[in-house]
Amino acid sequence: MFLEIKDLSVKIENKNILKSLNLNINKGEVHAIMGPNGSGKSTLANVLAGKEDYEILNGRINFKDNDLFDLNIEERAQEGMFLAFQYPVEIPGVNITPFLHSAINSKRKRKNKEEIDNLSFAKLLKSKASDLGINIDMLKRSVNTGFSGGEKKRYEILQMSILNPDLAILDETDSGLDIDALKIVTDGVNKLKTKDNSFLIITHYQKLLDYIKPDYVHVMVNGSIVKSGGSEIAAEIEEDGFQKFQ
Amino acid sequence: MNSETLNTLDTYSKNKYKYGFVTEIDDEKPKKGLNEDTIKFISQKKNEPEWMLDWRLKAYSKWKKMKEPKWSNLSFPEIDYQDIYYYSAPKGFDKKPKDLSEVDPKLIETYNKLGIPLEEQKVLAGVAVDVVFDSVSVATTYKGELEKLGIIFCSIGEAIQKHPDLIKKYLGSVIPPGDHSFSALNSAVFTDGSFVYIPEGVKCPMELSTYFRINAENTGQFERTLIIADKGSYVSYLEGCTAPKRDDNQLHAANVELIALEDAEIKYSTVQNWYPGNEDGKGGIYNFVTKRGLCAGKNSKISWTQVETGSAITWKYPSCILKGDNSIGEFYSVAITNNFQQADTGTKMTHIGKNTKSKIISKGISLGKSQNTYRGEVSFLRKADKARNYTQCDSLLVGNQCGAHTVPYIDSKNNTAVIEHEASTSKINEDQLYYCRQRGLSHEEAVSLIVNGFCKQVLQELPMEFAVEAQKLVSISLEGSVG
């Protein structure tokens, strides 16, 4: 099993957020999690990435034969986990290019691969950026600083395509995007998809799933997955909302 | 602050200072302590003319009546001025060596270790360097090439011998010996430092640089630097400093004077990396520095950039007196304090002429149990019509046992003055750390990256050749283990 979440219960500040959650993802699969606000979707993403604010009450997570709880944030990232943030944070004064260069090299170091040099990295970055329709001028700016909502999301996808993760988690990447930006973002995901990597797409709206075809759709309500199935579930939600699952 | 952050901070505190080695070399010193004999000894060693000795002795008699300024936010035991050596030179240094063949190979090796090669074929391209070891200047590179342009770049000792007119006219003209106790002390016992004169209309084609090294034990270093930019000239100057690791505190009391005449520009950059003491606050340099620039002529400009990472105590306020109409003063500062370091640093901008402008950008980063203070004074005198100041001070706290303080004074006697002041204090942002680590950067790398980003506005003011070095130094000051 590629990612296996078993009986996961999590709380933050005395509030139980995830309750005995189970989820299995195999290599090459695209899973979508849909659910109303406050159902715990973003908590799940952050627990997977290793954010330290949460208390794990019960359960376990296996990722590529590792006990995920044995790895800290950067080790999980280096093992191939990528989180596209819902609200990417601004880091003033830190230029995009060296930032990503360090990121890719820390991953290569863990895999005992040779570091990628400046010139080859600059080439890689340029080609990926132009694939995603990102203006080269944007690469001279500081990480997320002064970016519009759409630019931030596009930059998340650029980072994802550079780091080429085994498991990409997209946390409400579609929120706040107009149709054009949504197309660019989803194109990026579709281009990156292979039989060897997996995606976990968290979304509130069904719209995103018009562009990315998930293999499985899960409905999350009140900290648990209450229904799983194919893309027909997304259509159900589109018609009736989350009401009937609650 | 979560536990992992605190753990990482703990490892930062085990600061490793890579310039902490000692050069074993026979040296020559007078007796410990400060008195007229000590001053005569120094003056004689430097083969100085009578008038210079008189000047020193006058400063000494002023110093005897003065007390150390006490207004800073620093605490340290009383300095015992009678327990310090005021001069130390490698044996046989009565005359400055003519070329490197006369220099003890141990000294050349020392500078190689510090990354400052002196040998002809290895000198840093595009940078002329004067190296000062304890109390004497060891070598000055690229001298001949500069002479062709009429530029004088030599040790202050040599300038006293060869250019007495310039010294008599300008030495002490910006920082009078009686200004305060440290300027009086320096004027009495200064040993070496650099002298620069750029003739009218000449743009100095390379960076001029001085590298100060304290080696001997219990020895004070009293650096004196004087830079004069004649009408329409330009010079960029950089100083760097290191010292061995020792358990005792050592005193460094420097005076630096800059004079920019009409349409001239001086850019002065410092990368200060004196030994900061160990993680328990033992040892380290007491750095009491007076730096002042006079924009004497119309349209002149003086710009100070400093990266302060070393010293147990830093007391330093590079200032500009904006006398010429339309003159410009700038101050860009990064001060990082870790462990038990204390820094009280900032600037003074005195607007005298019309349309004078000043800009202050200060970035303070505090870690460990350190205290970091920005202190600034911006004043507008009566005739400073339409003068402007912009001040921005930002403080970043890493950890929860350190302190950041901002003490800005503003004094305006002219109601056409425009003053803008922005200040911020923030903790290192956990969301930024999370973001960087999710991309695979270690906690240390992430902190270093964020802090370097925080300082960027200042670091980009440094000459290209040094910006990268300074960036590395910033990372080292945070990490201690890298490099």
Map out the domains of chain A as residue ranges. Answer: 3-245
CA-to-CA distance for B419 and B408, rounded, in angstroms? 12
Chain B residues close to A99, C-beta within 8 Å? 436, 439, 449
Instruction: Decide if A7 contacts A60 (C-beta within 8 A).
Output: yes
In this predicted model, what pLDDT tens digit does every residue of A28-53 receive, in sequence order? 999 999 998 889 999 999 999 999 88
Does the beta-carbon distance from A94 to B453 stay under 8 Å?
Answer: yes
In this predicted model, what pLDDT tens digit does every residue of A188-223 receive, in sequence order? 889 899 999 999 999 887 788 888 889 999 999 999
Instruction: Decide if A31 contacts A218 (C-beta within 8 A).
Output: yes
Give the contacts of B386 (CB within 8 A, at least 6 positions apart).
B354, B355, B416, B417, B418
Residue A24 has pLDDT above 60, yes or no: yes
Does the beta-carbon distance from A91 to B432 stay under 8 Å?
Answer: yes
Q: Does domain A3-245 bear CATH number 1.10.10.10? A: no
Chain B residues close to A78, C-beta within 8 Å? 440
CA distance B465 to chain A (A): 18
Q: Given CB atoms, is B454 within the 8 Å cutoff of chain A?
A: yes
DSSP three-state, residue A17? strand
For A74, the closest chain B residue by CA position comes to B440
Chain B residues close to A50, C-beta within 8 Å? 437-438
ipTM: 0.95
Token pair recorded at residue B262: 């009409």
Please tell me which residue, B206 or A101, carries the higher pLDDT value. Answer: A101
H or E, element range at B363? strand B357-366
Closest CA to B403 of B421, B427, B380: B427
Low-confidence residues in chain B, pLDDT < 70: 1-18, 24-25, 91-100, 102, 114-127, 134-139, 214-218, 241-247, 465, 477, 479-483
In B, residues 434-453, which contact A (CB 8 Å cutoff)? Answer: 434-443, 445, 449-450, 452-453
Chain B residues close to A106, C-beta within 8 Å? 440-442, 445
End-to-end CA distance of chain A: 30
CA-to-CA distance for B346 and B335, rounded, in angstroms? 10
Does the beta-carbon distance from B438 to A89 stay under 8 Å?
Answer: no
Q: What is the DSSP-derived secondary structure letter of residue B121?
A: G
Closest CA to B276 of B467, B118, B480: B480
H or E, element range at B42? helix B36-45
Token pair recorded at residue B117: 């090669």
Give the contacts of B198 (CB within 8 A, at least 6 positions apart).
B151, B204, B228, B229, B230, B233, B234, B235, B264
CA distance A241 to chain B (A): 33
Does the beta-carbon distance from A77 to B449 stay under 8 Å?
Answer: no
Does the beta-carbon distance from B440 to A107 stay under 8 Å?
Answer: yes
Positive or negative: CA dihedral B130, B133, B135, B137: negative
Q: How far is CA B272 from CA A131, B207, B239, in A?
A: 45, 17, 8
Give the contacts of A20 (CB within 8 A, at least 6 positions apart).
A7, A8, A9, A58, A59, A224
Q: What is the pLDDT of residue A33?
A: 94
Q: Given CB atoms, is B432 within the 8 Å cutoff of chain A?
A: yes
Let me know if B304 is exposed, middle or buried by CB neighbors in 10 A (0-12, 13-18, 19+): buried
Which stretches does DSSP call E strand in A75-164? Answer: 81-84
CA-to-CA distance for A103 and A100, rounded, in angstroms? 5
Q: What is the pLDDT of residue A91?
A: 92
Residue A182 has pLDDT above 50, yes or no: yes
Instruction: Decide if A159 contacts B439 (C-beta within 8 A).
Output: yes
Does the beta-carbon distance from B453 to A91 stay under 8 Å?
Answer: yes
CA distance A133 to chain B (A): 22
Instruction: Decide if B466 contacts B307 (C-beta within 8 A).
Output: no
In this predicted model, what pLDDT tens digit does every residue of A138-155 receive, in sequence order? 888 999 988 888 888 889
Distance of CA A56 to the CA centre of its chain: 20
User: How many C-beta atoms lie closer than 10 Å to residue B382's C-beta?
Assistant: 9
CB pairs under 8 A between A and B: 77
CA-to-CA distance for B423 and B421, rounded, in angstroms? 7
CA distance A222 to chain B (A): 25
Q: What is the pLDDT of residue B201?
A: 96
Instruction: Decide if A100 contacts A159 (C-beta within 8 A).
Output: yes
Nearest-CB residue to A93 (from B442, B443, B456):
B456
Q: What is the pLDDT of residue A189?
A: 87
The structure tokens 């830093």 sit at B314
**Neighbouring-strand partners of residue B132:** B137, B212
Q: What is the pLDDT of residue B96?
A: 61
Q: What is the pLDDT of residue B203?
A: 94
CA distance B49 to chain A (A): 52
CA-to-CA distance for B354 and B263, rounded, in angstroms? 15
Domain ranges of chain B: 3-479
H or E, element range at B3? helix B3-13
Q: What is the pLDDT of residue B369?
A: 86
For A77, the closest chain B residue by CA position comes to B440
Q: What is the pLDDT of residue B9?
A: 41
Q: What is the pLDDT of residue B6?
A: 43
Q: Given CB atoms, is B456 within the 8 Å cutoff of chain A?
A: yes
Q: Given CB atoms, is B426 within the 8 Å cutoff of chain A?
A: no
Q: What single-letter amino acid sits at B267? A: K
Chain A residues close to B432, C-beta within 8 Å? 89, 91
CA-to-CA distance for B285 and B251, rounded, in angstroms? 6
Chain A residues close to B443, C-beta within 8 Å? 74
Give the contacts of B169 (CB within 8 A, at least 6 positions apart).
none
Give the contacts of B299 (CB within 8 A, at least 6 positions apart).
B262, B263, B324, B325, B326, B327
Q: What is the pLDDT of residue B121?
A: 53
Q: What is the pLDDT of residue B124?
A: 58
Q: What is the pLDDT of residue A226?
A: 92
Chain A residues close to B431, C-beta within 8 Å? 89
Chain B residues close to A100, C-beta within 8 Å? 439
| Neighbour-count burial for A25-36, b at 16+ CB within 10 Å, e otherwise | beeebbbbbbbb
Instruction: Decide if A200 contacts A212 (C-beta within 8 A).
Output: no
B301-308 vs B265-272, strand pairing mode: parallel
Instruction: Decide if B304 contacts B293 (C-beta within 8 A).
Output: yes
Positive or negative: CA dihedral A84, A90, A91, A94: positive
CA-to-CA distance for A91 and B433, rounded, in angstroms? 10
Mutation target to probe the B interface, by most B beta carbons within 10 A, among A46, A74, A156 is A74
Does the beta-carbon distance from A88 to B432 stay under 8 Å?
Answer: no
